[in-house]
Chains A and B, each alone.
Chain A
Amino acid sequence: MPLGFFGGIYNNHLALEATLERVHALGIEGRTWCLGDIGGFGPHPDHALELLRASGVPVVQGNYDYALGHGLGDCGCGYTDPRDNRYAAISYRYTRERTHPRHLPWLRDLPPVLRVEAGGRAILLCHGSPRRTNEFLWESTSPDGFLEWLCTAHGCDVLVCTHTGIPWTRRLDSGQRVINCGAIGRPANNGKTEVAFALYDPETDDCTFVPVAYDHERLAAEVLAEGLPAEFAETLTSGWWTSCLEVLPARERAAGQF
């Protein structure tokens, strides 16, 4: 029986709705997890929060959720490019001001990791990495030896994460597997408007990414109507990241447009 993993909602309530419909169609409700970062650069944070909480999907805490839940002053990205810092500050302030206070204790108390046993495998769910919520596990900068060490040090056969926004998976020589489920809140910097989540079968060790199309034009219109930066809307309609690019390794950066 496959399991579903999605993360990085970034306030994109329309993509979340479409993802939950796909989860339902695949018959994997009750076997699907959210890996955190519910807030972000999209509009109307309460929409996604309410949808997610009502769905009953278990959630791992992301860095954004942690920051909001603990009332921190910023999302802690600390970019070099002053424009990126401005964008990050705008979206964080917007999300903080519009998140209903009743959600804050829930965000604060989300677990940093979850463990699942399935198909005889120990599966560890985290946001960035099991050792740090805001660590980036990119495909091109996560070598096999490091991932084997990470899985072994944290006692898992399968490690599932998000945080980078670009999905990938790798089976290691050791038999362990790492899955970065990507993000459903914004496209994967690949020129496509659809987003994706991970489908993993612990019996067969097969992992695929399920594309999710949603009304991205409507979301982009909401972004603009809320007075959020036009660059955010552009990313949704073009599929290319336009801001906060600095965290990308050279390889992933070269694959994008900016």
Chain B
Amino acid sequence: MPEHDVASTPGMARPDSAEIHDDRRRTDSPAAPRPSRGTAAPPWLPFRHLDTLWLQVTGTLCNLRCTHCFISCGPENHSVSLMPKDQVLDALARAPGLGVRELYYTGGEPFLHPDIRLFIERGLEVAPVTVLTNGILITERQAEWLGALFGSCRYSLDIRISLDGLTAEQNDAVRGAGTFAKITRAVGRLAARGLVPAVAVTEVHEGMGAPEARLAFLELLRGRGCRSPRVKFLPVFRLGAQAERLGGYAEDERLAEGDLAPEEYASLQCSSARLLAADGVYPCPLLLGQPGTRMGSGLDDGLRDIRLAHGACVTCHLTGMTCRT
């Protein structure tokens, strides 16, 4: 497995120069020398600034076992453990000083963490918070609590719920029996409390990203009481459970120097995001647990340039995707 965490000059929160103003005009070149394409070395991606701090609060623990989960989460997967309370609170305390723009809580299923409410409340004191959830644990009580917080918190609180089909048949084949009903009920509960949940759809089924399907998702959410439906579509990554089922990235599916368009140096999420998990820091949420991708144990270890050496980087390059909402 190629190394992802090749050390480089520490790219500590380099301020952008004022004259760089539009990603269409960006011409930043990586800090490191660029070998010729013939050597097939993966491209360097300079670390720009920690805009988005991801916290893998529940590690790989989940109450579902989705067939496409890119980190193979499930009720028995303890390979990456829950983040200890102090680790999360320390990261939150550091966020303002690092100029962090937004916080994302993910897992696994974040609502399985016993301290999730504390994390959400404390997070919202320093930055907007998005929680990525499967919705199963959004009970009436939880929705009530989230609704009250949404109406009073200093920064925006966003709840993003995963749904993988327009029907129970479509969704449940991926996320498990009975989940369509539970997920759509959770969406309705949040909407009824004044929240504006976003629904994330991974394009596991053919045609899911087509205009008709997109309109159908918006209609489905309106039917569940969402006055302002929001949907985000995500490409499938051949990682984790998905890779086990259908195969992962081939050895030669890798980016090489010269593959990235100039604007990608700024638009790829890993130029401005890092994921902190119980076992250390990673370039992005997709690579948690992937061999050779861990950048170190603490947040500071992650604030540096990376090489885009993983097969998944090809999908990011081809689709332009970001895990942000």
Contact = CB atoms under 8 A, between A and B. Distances in A.
Contacts of B18: 113, 124, 130, 154-155
A98 interface: no
A8 B230 CA distance: 25
Nearest to A126: B21
B95 A80 contact: no
A140 B150 contact: no
Interface stretch (A11-19, A21-29, A39-47, A244-252): A244-252
Given A153-B16, A250-B158, A131 B97 contact: no
- Pick from B21, B51, B158, B194 the residue with the most CB of A within 10 Å: B21
Contact of B22 (A133, A141, A153, A250): A133
B15 A143 contact: no
A148 interface: yes
A43 B263 CA distance: 32
A245 B230 CA distance: 9
B136 to A, nearest CB: 21
Nearest to B157: A250
Nearest to A251: B156
A113 B215 CA distance: 38
Nearest to B94: A145
How many B residues are at the interface, by size bracket?
35 or more
Nearest to A115: B18
Contacts of B245: none
A246 B217 CA distance: 14
B231 interface: yes
A250 B99 contact: no
Contacts of A253: 196, 228, 230
Interface string A223-258: 000000000000000000000011001111110111
Instruction: For chain A, give the interface size range.
Output: 35 or more
B51 to A, nearest CB: 8
Contact of A143 (B155, B196, B198): B155
Nearest to A245: B228
A250 B128 CA distance: 10
A132 B20 CA distance: 7
A251 B129 CA distance: 11
A132 B228 contact: no
A258 B222 CA distance: 11
Nearest to A258: B228
B100 interface: yes
B229 to A, nearest CB: 9
A95 interface: no
Contacts of A138: 156
Nearest to B13: A149
A152 interface: yes
B127 interface: yes
B218 A81 contact: yes
A212 interface: no
A114 to B, nearest CB: 11
A112 interface: yes
Q: In the complex, which of the residues A124, A132, A134, A143 has the most CB atoms of chain B within 10 Å of its own CB atom?
A: A143
Interface of A: 63, 66, 76, 80-83, 112-113, 124, 126, 130-134, 138, 140-146, 148-150, 152-155, 245-246, 249-254, 256-258
17 contacts: A80-B231, A126-B21, A130-B21, A134-B23, A138-B156, A143-B96, A143-B101, A143-B126, A145-B99, A145-B100, A145-B126, A146-B100, A148-B96, A149-B99, A153-B15, A249-B158, A254-B195
When A and B form their complex, which 6 residue pairs have the shortest distance between CB atoms, in order from nearest? A149-B99, A145-B96, A153-B15, A112-B21, A140-B156, A82-B211
